[in-house]
Structure 1
Amino acid sequence: MELSTILRPEAVKVMGSMSSKKRLFQELGEVAASACSLNASVIIDALQDREALGPTGVGHGVALPHARMDGLDKVFGAFVKLETPFDYGSVDRQPVDLIFALFAPQDSGVDHLKALALVSRNLRDSQLCAKLRANDDPSTLHTVLTEMVPSQAA
């Protein structure tokens, strides 16, 4: 599995600032809905339901919200870069500015976990995160995310 199979160019967005996690999920819902032809409110509800189980802010300014949903036939992602980091409630209490959301079919099983592991490994790379933070063009961000050498399994 590679990020290029998960993340479409139209699912990458740069935003100035975010007032809350709820507002971020609304934006992710809109971005994801246009990329997968699902209703944005279904996506937003799925993200909020998952987040209620525990925070998906993984540290170092990165969040990986994710959800399993009916109506999907494969795992896909959406990426948002914020120009102004905000308090996401991350495990390290640091504000978040890089958000990679993953959406998977309800019965995706191991594919969902593989996608989460792939994104997590890649976004733990401080050099990759520095490149993402240095760019504000969605096309460039998509290229940075998808043209890396695939990470080895942990």
Structure 2
Amino acid sequence: MSDTTLTIDNILAPELTLCKVPASSKKRALEFIAEQIREHYQTVSENQIFNNLIARERLGSTGIGQGIAIPHCRLEGLERVIGVLMTLEEAVEFDAIDNQPVDLVFALVVPKEATSEHLELLSQLAEKFNERSFCDRLRQCEDAQALYRSMTAASG
């Protein structure tokens, strides 16, 4: 495998894997993602991430159905792809394609110029989340460590 190939393993950090996040709405979930990224990457702007995620949602919801959302955006000046995985304490309305509320979220923030990587990662994620047993395993995780292990164990 060439080292330019991005996988979920190398974009998701344990500290950006969060279990049972209390988010009361889609907006709050996206704000939380931006806050978490800002906490671990001081060079990025929380507002910029949030605004870019919201702008992307306006084009069409990133709720892909079955309680899953993959919010994503590009960010000017970002040096690497950042992934955030979280399960929500309670499912929130996300305007998903099947109108089901969302409780499993994988956010992707990519450098502005990383178009092909962006699409490749989105398809990897969509493929994984398409597997119901995999999603059930993620939902059953009681803490962030277990969630991180479940997410990364399955990829490759």
Q: Confirm or deny a common fold (TM above 0.5).
A: yes
Partner of 1:13: 18
State the Cα distance separating 1:136 from its structure 2 match: 2.0
Q: Does 1:138 align with 2:128?
A: no
Please tell me whether residue 29 in structure 1 is matched to residue 34 in structure 2: yes
Moved over 3 A (4+): none
Question: How many residues are paired up?
Answer: 150
- The aligned residue for residue 82 of structure 2 is 76
Letter in 2 for 1:93: N
* TM-score normalised by the chain length of structure 1: 0.92
Q: Give me the whole-angstrom Cα distance separating, in 2, the residues matched to 1:33 and 1:119.
A: 23
Partners of 1:15 and 1:42 in 2: CA distance: 25
Q: Does the 8 Å contact 2:20/2:87 carry over to 1?
A: yes
Answer whether contact 2:23 2:89 (CA < 8 A) is retained.
no
Separation in 2, partners of 1:10, 1:71:
22
Gaps of 5+ in 1: none
Identity of aligned residues (%): 33
**Whole-Å Cα distance in 2 between the matches of residues 30 and 121 of structure 1?**
27
- Does the CA-based 8 Å contact 2:87-2:103 persist in structure 1? yes
Three-state SS of the structure 2 residue aligned to 1:133 is helix
Matches of 1:149 and 1:19 in 2, distance apart? 30
Q: Which position in structure 2 is the counterpart of 1:44?
A: 50
| TM-score computed with the length of structure 2 as normaliser | 0.91
1:36: how far off?
2.9
Match of 1:92 in 2: 98
CA contact (8 A) 1:21 1:88 kept: yes
Whichever residue aligns with residue 12 of structure 2, its letter is L
Structure 2 CA distance, aligned partners of 1:122 and 1:84? 22
Is the CA contact 1:2–1:146 (under 8 Å) kept in the aligned structure 2?
A: no
Quick one: distance in 1 between partners of 2:104 and 2:87?
5
Q: Which residue of 1 aligns with 2:64?
A: 58
Cα separation, partners in 2 of 1:49 and 1:134, compared to 1, 3 Å: same
Distance of 2:142 and 2:73 partners within structure 1: 26
Structure 2 portions without partners, runs of 5+: 1-5
**2:134 is matched with which residue: 104, 109, 128?**
128
Aligned-residue offset at 1:16: 4.7
